[in-house]
């Protein structure tokens, strides 16, 4: 493999380079066939054909800063070639420019040079390289008077340069589209991770609380309490399985197999039921709601619910024996959510876990913010969300 070969070259870019190299080979070969004399002309054109053949076989890329110098060198093989001898004359693209068809074919053969330059060179290098390269054909005629077709050279050079620029713009647009698609896929994966974490984490946290209660009741010999706690853990587990299935169906975007209508996702108006659920598991929770939760956009209402759900789940896991308070303040433009816990163990082994990351991503996706950290001997989560899912 050549030292200049770039394995990162895209398939579309590779095809363009191969095709345009074949075009250069065809026109240079035609120029030699029309007039093989003088020998120096054939040698220079043959060297150009060999370089284009190398590109057509396996495209290679020099570093970006070397592209303009490579283009000048390869273009010099054609523009410095002697005028054809014994070739049929009569090629007259302009009234003031007349030459042989062999020299005209050699001018067209320069297409690969300009396509490579426009596609591969840095923009700041194009600013000096393009004028210098364009001046080579008229400069040779001005100094030596041996390139009567220099206007045709210049015209085709500009055309090839514009064509290469079109290829470059197309490549940039294509890469931008791929980048947006990759970002969309990554965001969808984050969304799925957040939903699955919320659905599974909440149910497991509540079930573990009841299992812990059953174990403690077993130590006391209270069989009725053991049975009640295990039954509650079983109920929560079954409900969690249903929630996971429903969540996966919604994420997949397909209808349930039985055609049943799935319930709407929870919102801030469902917070009292959520708090009652955690109270039933033995976690003291105080809920304060100010304003109208119904004024929240559905996406914002779901985010409020999930943030409170995850925060209370974290309290149950990381601060056993403590209590929590939830405050939701719906204002004219924003909703402020505060969840605090007190009296539990101060250590937070998973303070930067997936749950906190998911809450922050939810808030950021809606144009809001979320902070979490130690506060007054416990842990506090503060979130600010816009009412309509975008901050003013």
Residue that terminates a domain, selected from 158, 181, 204: 181
Residues 373 and 272 in one domain: yes
Q: What is the pLDDT of residues 191-247, one digit of tens each?
A: 767 666 666 666 677 777 778 778 887 888 888 888 887 887 777 777 776 666 666
Residue that terminates a domain, selected from 140, 164, 181: 181
Contacts of residue 321, Cβ cutoff 8 Å, sequence gap at least 6: 343, 344, 345
Identify which of 184, 186, 193 has the alpha carbon closest to the alpha carbon of residue 355: 193
Mean pLDDT of 329-355: 74
Residues 293 and 177 in one domain: no
pLDDT at 25 (0 to 100): 92
Residues 46 and 147 in one domain: yes
Distance (Å, whole) CA 75 – CA 149: 16
Residues 159 and 48 in one domain: yes
Query: What distances in angstroms separate CA 21 from CA 53, 146, 161, one per listed residue?
Result: 7, 27, 15
Four-CA torsion 8, 11, 12, 14, nearest 10 degrees = 70
Contacts of residue 32, Cβ cutoff 8 Å, sequence gap at least 6: 41, 42, 45, 46
Contact 300, 389 (CB under 8 A): yes
Number of domain units in the chain: 2
Torsion angles phi and psi, residue 379, rounded to 5:
-140, 140
Residues 388 and 276 in one domain: yes
pLDDT at 161 (0 to 100): 83
Residue 8: pLDDT above 60? Answer: no
pLDDT at 7 (0 to 100): 42
Q: Tell me, what CATH number does 284's domain have?
A: 3.30.565.10
Q: What is the pLDDT of residues 109-146, one digit of tens each?
A: 888 888 888 888 888 888 888 888 888 888 887 777 67
The structure tokens listed for 378 are 């416990």
pLDDT at 66 (0 to 100): 86
pTM for this entry: 0.47
Residue 368, in any domain of the structure = yes
Residue 112 structural domain: 11-181
pLDDT at 325 (0 to 100): 93
Residues 18 and 161 in one domain: yes
Mean pLDDT of 336-358: 70
Highest mean pLDDT among 14-18, 184-188, 294-298, 380-384 belongs to 380-384
Contact 244, 227 (CB under 8 A): no
Residue 200, in any domain of the structure = no
pLDDT bin (cut points 50, 70, 90) of residue 89 is low
The structure tokens listed for 128 are 């000096």
Residues 139 and 274 in one domain: no
Residue 172, in any domain of the structure = yes
Residues 150 and 36 in one domain: yes
Residue 146, in any domain of the structure = yes
* C-alpha count within 13 angstroms, C-beta hemisphere, residue 282: 22
Residue 256, in any domain of the structure = no
Q: Bigger pLDDT: 309 or 143?
A: 309
Residue that terminates a domain, selected from 122, 156, 181: 181
Residue 297, in any domain of the structure = yes
Helices vs strands, H then E, count in the chain: 12, 7
The structure tokens listed for 214 are 């059953």
Residue 210, in any domain of the structure = no
Four-CA torsion 221, 227, 230, 236, nearest 10 degrees = -140
Residues 274 and 167 in one domain: no
CA angle 158, 161, 166 (to 5 degrees): 130
Residue 241, in any domain of the structure = no
């Amino acid at each position: 493999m050549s030292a200049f070969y770039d394995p990162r070259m895209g398939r579309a870019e590779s095809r363009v380079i191969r095709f345009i190299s074949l075009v250069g080979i065809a026109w240079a070969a035609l120029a030699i066939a029309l007039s093989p004399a003088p020998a120096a002309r054939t040698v220079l054109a043959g060297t150009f054909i060999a370089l284009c053949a190398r590109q057509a076989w396996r495209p290679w890329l020099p570093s970006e800063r070397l592209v303009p110098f490579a283009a000048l060198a390869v273009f010099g093989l054609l523009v410095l070639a002697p005028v054809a001898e014994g070739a049929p004359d009569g090629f007259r693209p302009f009234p003031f420019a007349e030459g042989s068809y062999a020299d005209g074919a050699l001018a067209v053969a320069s297409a690969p040079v300009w396509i490579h330059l426009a596609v591969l060179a840095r923009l700041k290098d194009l600013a000096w390289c393009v004028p210098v390269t364009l001046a080579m054909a008229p400069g040779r005629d001005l100094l030596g008077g041996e390139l009567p077709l220099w206007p045709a050279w210049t015209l085709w050079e500009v055309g090839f340069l514009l064509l290469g620029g079109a290829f470059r713009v197309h490549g940039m647009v294509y890469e931008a589209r791929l980048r947006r698609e990759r970002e969309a896929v990554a965001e969808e994966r984050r969304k799925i991770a957040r939903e699955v974490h919320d659905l599974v984490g909440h149910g497991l946290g509540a079930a573990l609380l009841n299992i812990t209660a059953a174990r403690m009741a077993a130590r006391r010999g209270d069989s009725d309490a053991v049975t009640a706690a295990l039954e509650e853990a079983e109920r929560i587990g079954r409900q969690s399985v249903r929630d996971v299935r429903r969540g996966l169906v919604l994420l997949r975007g397909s209808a349930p197999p039985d055609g049943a209508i799935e319930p709407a996702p929870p919102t801030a108006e469902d917070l009292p039921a959520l708090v009652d659920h955690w109270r039933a598991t033995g976690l003291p929770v105080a809920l304060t709601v100010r304003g109208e939760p119904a004024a929240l956009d559905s996406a914002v209402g779901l985010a409020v619910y999930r943030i409170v759900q995850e925060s209370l789940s974290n309290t149950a896991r990381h601060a056993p024996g403590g209590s929590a308070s939830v405050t939701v303040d719906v204002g004219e433009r924003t909703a402020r959510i505060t969840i605090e816990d007190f009296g539990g163990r101060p250590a937070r082994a998973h303070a930067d876990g997936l749950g906190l990351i998911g809450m922050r991503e939810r808030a950021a996706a809606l144009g809001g913010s979320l902070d979490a950290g130690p506060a007054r001997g416990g842990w506090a989560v503060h979130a600010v969300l816009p009412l309509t899912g975008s901050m003013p």
